[in-house]
Amino acid sequence: MKETVAVIRGESYEDPRLISRIQEGIDLLGGWREFITPGDKVLLKPNLLIGRPVERCVNTHPLIVKAVARMVMDSGGTVVIGDSPQLGSAKKVAARCGLEEVAKELGIDVVEFDPVEVKFPEGKVFKTLTVGKPLLEADKVINLPKLKTHSLTCLTLAVKNLFGCIPGARKAEWHVKTSDAGKDFLAQLFLELNDLVKPALNIVDGIMAMEGRGPGFGDPRHLGLIIMGRNALAVDRVIAEIVSVPVDLIPTLRVAKAKGYGYAELDEIEIIGEPIDAVRVKDFKLPPRTEVPSQFADSQGLPKFVFRFLKNLLTAQPQIDHSLCQECKMCAEACPLKAISPAEGGLLIDTRKCIQCLCCIEVCPYAAVEMNPGLLLRVYNWFNSHPHSGRV
């Protein structure tokens, strides 16, 4: 059976028709009665990465959250807003990005994700997960991601947004646990979180997206779109098509396709609202590649121990631009392996410890952490950017 995804135009957040635009998509999906029962306690889960101004397009726009909250309340549900930022509390991030004002206006709470361990016997790999307590207290979860690039996962969309259901510092612990196994193993965690949380609805804020150096310091890009559906994977697959990104570049979709999760192929999805060809973007800027793809290493017959031995040559390592660094030490606080420390001349990253989780890049408020590609990665990127030389 096909999964349905609605693609709706929304030109601006200030447009008085914003609610009616979202309602248009909901109606195409069957109406709010398909998602909310009167009396339901509903958790809205936006992307609250870090406290940045709304114009930077780092977090889900507060007016999208406001519109959805009002519609859920009008449908008889009660609403709370929650997420678990990489650093700091949800309330502090909400205050800095304009969401606190929305919550106060509507009389709803921004809640913290206190950790609760949950048994998950249905998990293909992960049988126990620690998530935020409000997820267990809610009758329904509505996932409200931002359409953004991400240096680690290429794009961060509906499935990846659920990584925020894992409380605070525990996300860094997962980066450590999955570092040796690679991005696909981390993507498996995201997929299983999606299966555990089972959002009733996913509404992606793509009015002002982020391209380039995401998720914290990319460039705002107006797409004028809101994409929604019941199934997070199906929503992500449609968005990948809209911004012309191959499935193989997005770990969650790549793993979903390989392991039979479903909805990693367009022929499994019914797209309603705007047709893809009417909204497709062919020049959406992706983040710089941070590693030579494992598929390339496999195709060359490189054993995994050789790949690990050549890690610094095959991957990009974070480094600190001291002309921008203000030595706030947020990167050191976020680093799960404490690979960043003060030194003469400023903070330094110990690349021997670094697992390229890129938490330092996510939290730096000054864009002072950048990726320095290894020699073989530079060669790989050069060949792939010069079609006449033959792609590798």
Are 263 and 332 part of one and the same domain? Answer: no
Predicted local distance difference test score (pLDDT) of residue 382 = 72
Flag whether pLDDT at 392 surpasses 90: no
For residue 175, give Cα distances in angstroms to 154, 169, 235, 336: 16, 10, 25, 8
Are 309 and 255 part of one and the same domain? Answer: no
Flag whether pLDDT at 390 surpasses 50: no
Least confident span in 119-133, 219-233, 292-306, 360-374:
292-306
| Distance separating alpha carbons of residues 278 and 274, to the nearest angstrom | 7
What 8-state DSSP symbol labels residue 295? Answer: H
| Distance separating alpha carbons of residues 240 and 247, to the nearest angstrom | 7
E strand or H helix at 226? strand 219-229
Task: Judge whether 62 lies within some domain.
Answer: yes
Predicted local distance difference test score (pLDDT) of residue 391 = 44
Residues 6+ apart with CB under 8 A from 203: 22, 25, 64, 68, 142, 143, 144, 226, 227, 228
Are 310 and 246 part of one and the same domain? Answer: no
Predicted local distance difference test score (pLDDT) of residue 313 = 76
Are 258 and 376 part of one and the same domain? Answer: no
Flag whether pLDDT at 96 surpasses 60: yes
Q: Which residue has the higher pLDDT, 305 or 121?
A: 121
Predicted local distance difference test score (pLDDT) of residue 39 = 98
Predicted local distance difference test score (pLDDT) of residue 307 = 63
Strand partners, 208: 222
Listed residues 247, 279, 311: the one ending a domain: 279
pLDDT tens by residue, 295-333: 555 555 666 666 666 667 767 889 999 999 999 999 999
**How large is the average pLDDT for residues 255-272?**
94
Are 21 and 69 part of one and the same domain? Answer: yes
| Distance separating alpha carbons of residues 72 and 13, to the nearest angstrom | 18
Predicted local distance difference test score (pLDDT) of residue 301 = 60
Are 341 and 214 part of one and the same domain? Answer: no
| Distance separating alpha carbons of residues 184 and 312, to the nearest angstrom | 19
Predicted local distance difference test score (pLDDT) of residue 300 = 56
Residues 6+ apart with CB under 8 A from 79: 42, 43, 44, 69, 72, 73, 106, 108
Predicted local distance difference test score (pLDDT) of residue 309 = 66
Task: Judge whether 285 lies within some domain.
Answer: no
Flag whether pLDDT at 186 surpasses 60: yes
Kindly report the pTM of this predicted structure. Answer: 0.92
Are 318 and 255 part of one and the same domain? Answer: no
The phi-psi region of residue 345 (left if phi > 0; otherwise alpha if psi is between -120 and 50; otherwise beta) is left
| Distance separating alpha carbons of residues 248 and 135, to the nearest angstrom | 31
Predicted local distance difference test score (pLDDT) of residue 385 = 60
Least confident span in 188-192, 282-286, 349-353:
349-353
pLDDT tens by residue, 9-67: 999 999 999 999 999 999 999 999 999 999 999 999 999 999 999 999 999 999 999 99
Number of domains making up the chain: 2
Are 243 and 370 part of one and the same domain? Answer: no
Task: Judge whether 203 lies within some domain.
Answer: yes
Task: Judge whether 286 lies within some domain.
Answer: no
Are 266 and 340 part of one and the same domain? Answer: no
pLDDT-derived band at 245, boundaries 50, 70, 90: very high
Asked if residue 80 lies in contact with residue 109, where contact means CB atoms within 8 angstroms, the answer is yes
pLDDT-derived band at 294, boundaries 50, 70, 90: low
* Range(s) of the domain holding residue 102: 3-279
Task: Judge whether 96 lies within some domain.
Answer: yes
Question: Residue 230: which of 353, 123, 140, 325 has the closest Cα?
Answer: 140
Task: Judge whether 173 lies within some domain.
Answer: yes
**How large is the average pLDDT for residues 140-157?**
96
Q: Tokens representing 106?
A: 């509507």
Are 42 and 171 part of one and the same domain? Answer: yes
Are 255 and 298 part of one and the same domain? Answer: no
Are 301 and 264 part of one and the same domain? Answer: no
Task: Judge whether 48 lies within some domain.
Answer: yes
Predicted local distance difference test score (pLDDT) of residue 154 = 94
